[in-house]
Chain A
Amino acid sequence: MSLHPYFEIVVFVGVALIFPVMPLILAWMWRRFFQPPKPGAAKNATYECGMESLGEAQIQFRSQYYLYAIIFLIFDVEAVFLVPFAVAFTGLPVGAFLSILVFLLLLIEGLVWAWGKGCLNWAK
């Protein structure tokens, strides 16, 4: 009998699903049949370090944080792509080379812009 080559993966996924879901179901049944839930103001509060909670957990971040996002993309995400690019450099077809150039160009544009805005200066 020959099994499908992906059969083991299906078993793996099945076990990986059962493993976390079973305890959740057991916990839910435990709560349902034995242990009465006791919610309360402090228990349901947002913050959990002993201080009084202020406001909601679902807050919006200010749009000013876009600068951090840009700089993160330039210095972290770009590096992740640059390493495989450098490793495979000699064997790259023209199309792949051009597309990575476009990607770099887009990010360099962001770098120039952030530089011009003075984000890279040390705060004095």
Chain B
Amino acid sequence: MGDEIDEGLRSELQRQGIWVTSMQELYNWGRKNSIWPLQFGLACCAIEMIATAASRYDIARFGAEVFRPSPRQADLMIVAGTVTKKMAPQIVRLYNQMPDPKYVIAMGACAISGGPFKQGYNVLKGIDRYIPVDVYIPGCPPRPEALLHAFMELQRKIDNQKLSGPNKSDHLDREHPSEYPVPAFGKHDLVPRANPDVFRPPQIERV
């Protein structure tokens, strides 16, 4: 099922007019070409996301034009914009409500780190503190081409996911969680300030 087909054999067969595929390839091919994003935007980056969906950049070429208004029908969450601390619990809850397999693109400086508002008392310094992010796009705002690029990266990632074996995709792993704890409004900040299971920033070691 998940076994790789020998490339030489495959091209040999293809020359004879026989097209071979595996369950895994078929499954990933279908998934990566019909990623439905969740329809929501948080700040200026959302305008670029809208431009990506409109005719000039046309994300429909990648099968992702079906922006879903309900998390129950979405595969991809594009966090496009500044995440305020007031909004963060709602975003985590929306992520929790999406069915597996689900992916997150953090779009723009704000979504990946807080961006220009990093010093703001009410701005979350990156959505990856609470939910796992698959693709980060830097930029303020990233151009639609950048979002398309991130999208293609995500397609590449989906294409490489395994159906079986020790490295199988997270959504097929019974132990892997599908929901993450929703942060609560504390006295001064969100509680907890980050989910340690998800947020593993590189540590700076001083010697």
Binding site for B on A (CB under 8 A): 34-36, 38, 40-43, 45, 48-52
How many chain-B residues does the 8 Å CB contact rule pick out?
A: 21
Tell me whether B93 and A50 are in contact (CB under 8 A).
yes
- Measured between beta carbons, the chain A residues less than 8 angstroms from B99 are 43
Tell me whether B179 and A40 are in contact (CB under 8 A).
yes
Tell me whether A42 and B70 are in contact (CB under 8 A).
no
Tell yes or no: B71 within 8 A of A by CB: yes
Tell me whether A51 and B90 are in contact (CB under 8 A).
yes
Tell me whether A48 and B97 are in contact (CB under 8 A).
yes
- Measured between beta carbons, the chain A residues less than 8 angstroms from B100 are 35, 38
Q: Could you list 11 further interchain pairs (A-B, Cβ under 8 angstroms) beyond the known A38-B100, A43-B96, A48-B97? A: A34-B163, A34-B172, A35-B171, A36-B173, A36-B174, A40-B96, A42-B179, A50-B93, A50-B94, A51-B90, A51-B93
Q: Quick one: CB contact mask for B7-51 with A, threshold 8 Å, 1 for yes?
A: 000000000000000000000000000000000000000000000
In the complex formed, the residue of A with least CB distance to B73 is A48
Of all A-B residue pairs in the complex, the 9 with the closest CB atoms, nearest first, are A50-B90, A42-B96, A38-B178, A40-B179, A36-B174, A50-B94, A50-B93, A48-B70, A42-B97
A98 to B93 alpha-carbon distance, docked (Å): 59
In the complex formed, the residue of B with least CB distance to A40 is B179
A42 to B174 alpha-carbon distance, docked (Å): 18
A98 to B60 alpha-carbon distance, docked (Å): 56
- Measured between beta carbons, the chain B residues less than 8 angstroms from A36 are 172-174
Tell yes or no: B72 within 8 A of A by CB: yes
A50 to B95 alpha-carbon distance, docked (Å): 9
In the complex formed, the residue of A with least CB distance to B98 is A43
Tell yes or no: B190 within 8 A of A by CB: no
Tell me whether A50 and B91 are in contact (CB under 8 A).
yes
A36 to B176 alpha-carbon distance, docked (Å): 10
Q: Quick one: CB contact mask for B147-182 with A, threshold 8 Å, 1 for yes?
A: 000000000000000010000000111100111001
